[in-house]
Structures are given as structure tokens and as C-alpha cells.
Amino acid sequence: MRYEVTVDGHTYQVEINEEGHITIDGQTVEVDFAQIGNSGLYSLLVDNESFEALVEPRENIWLVLLRGDLYEVDVVDERVRLLRARASLTVPESGEVTIRAPMPGLVVSVPVEMGQEVSKGDNLVILESMKMENELKAPRDGRIERINIKAGDSVERDQILVVIS
């Protein structure tokens, strides 16, 4: 699994490989990671170097207290990145808008019907991908013009799922 991880303005490309390895900005290190009890205390061994940190979630970021310093870390996985990128596309004020699959996946449900009026932010398709369920939302108000898929369908990346007019 790949992540884009931002700390203090620098973005690292982190990839969690098979158990016990991580690649960070192209460099592979051996890691051994453990949570201490149910607390937010973690122990990390990176190529046998030992680190202890307290970790807590905050709205959109992770707080990591390491050797006295508090780091604010933004961890973005592919799925979230794709969704974020999709959400930031500029959408025409009128005319047709096509909703495409941001990644390959399995359609879990389609909570809208042909001809239905939808508002910006309404769920159009629930797509299971990378073991997570992802909500594809309406980028603006409109009417459902076309539905190309149904629950249970497998879809490819960029396949057109729904069209709003």
C-alpha cells in the first residue's frame, strides 16, 4: 500500500511492503512496529534503531510526539488521494457531468434512480475498492440522466458510471 505523507511541509512517498519492510522516498528499511497496550504509545525499530512515540488522531492529521517534539503528520492513501483529486476537478455549472470510477472496484450499491433530482454532495454510487467502501458524490446539483451500472458490477478505472445533467 502506498501513502503520501506530509510532515513539516515535506511530502514523503511511503510504501508498506510485505510484513516488516517500508520504502520511504525510494529507500527500503526494515521496520518492526508495536503498540504498547491499548494506549497511544508505540515502539518502532527501524533497522534496529529504537524509537518510542505517542500517537493520536486529530481531525485530518496524526499527532506524533517523538523525542520531545510534536509532529503533525498528514497521511494520504491512494484511495483518498484519488477521491480528493476527483473532488477538486472543476465542474461545469450546467450541461452533462459524467461520474467515472476513480479506481477499479465493485459496485456495492447505487442509491439513486433514473430521473431523480440530486443535490451537490448526495451519494451516487458506493464503490468497494482497496477493501474500503468509497462514496462517489454528486459534484453539483442536477438530475440523473443515465446509470450505466448496478450493484454487483465490477468496474474499471475511468469507466463512466453515472451521468448528471
Partner 1 sequence: MAETPTLFRKVLIANRGEIAVRIIRACRELGLRTVAVYSDVDRNAMHVRHATEAYHIGPPPPRESYLRIDKILDVAKRSGADAIHPGYGFLAERPDFAQACLDEGIAFIGPTPEAIAAMGDKVVARRTVQEAGVPVVPGTDVMLRDDELEAEASRIGYPLLIKAAAGGGGKGMRRVDRPEDFEGALHSARREAEAAFGDGSVYLEKLIEGGRHIEIQILADTHGNVIYLGERECSIQRRHQKLLEESPSPFVNEALRRRMGEVALQAARAVNYCNAGTIEFLVDRDRNFYFLEMNTRLQVEHPVTEFVTNLDIVKEQIRIARGRKLSRTQDEIEIKGAAIECRINAEDPYNNFLPSTGTITAMTLPTGPGVRVDTGVTAGDQITPYYDPLISKLICWGDTRGEALLRMRRALSEYKIMGLKTNIPFHQNLLDSARFIGGQYDTTFVEERFSMGGGREFRPEIAAIIATLVAHEERRKAAQIVRRDGRDGQVSKWKLAGRWEQMWR
Which residues make up the interface to partner 1 (CB under 8 A)? 1, 3, 5, 7-8, 10, 12, 14, 16, 22, 24-25, 29, 31-46, 48-57, 59-60, 62-71, 73, 75, 77, 80, 126, 131-133, 135
C-alpha torsion angle, residues 19, 134, 103, 123 (rounded to 10):
180
Closer of 75 and 149 to partner 1 (Cβ): 75
Tell me how far, at minimum, the Cβ of 99 lies from partner 1, in Å.
18
Q: Which is nearer to partner 1, 132 or 160 (CB)?
A: 132
Set of cell numbers at residue 115: 430521473
State which residue, 104 or 163, has the beta carbon closest to partner 1.
Answer: 104
Complex with partner 1: residue 54 or 97, whichever CB lies closer: 54
CB of 85 to partner 1, least distance (A): 15
- In angstroms, give the least distance from the CB of 18 to partner 1: 13
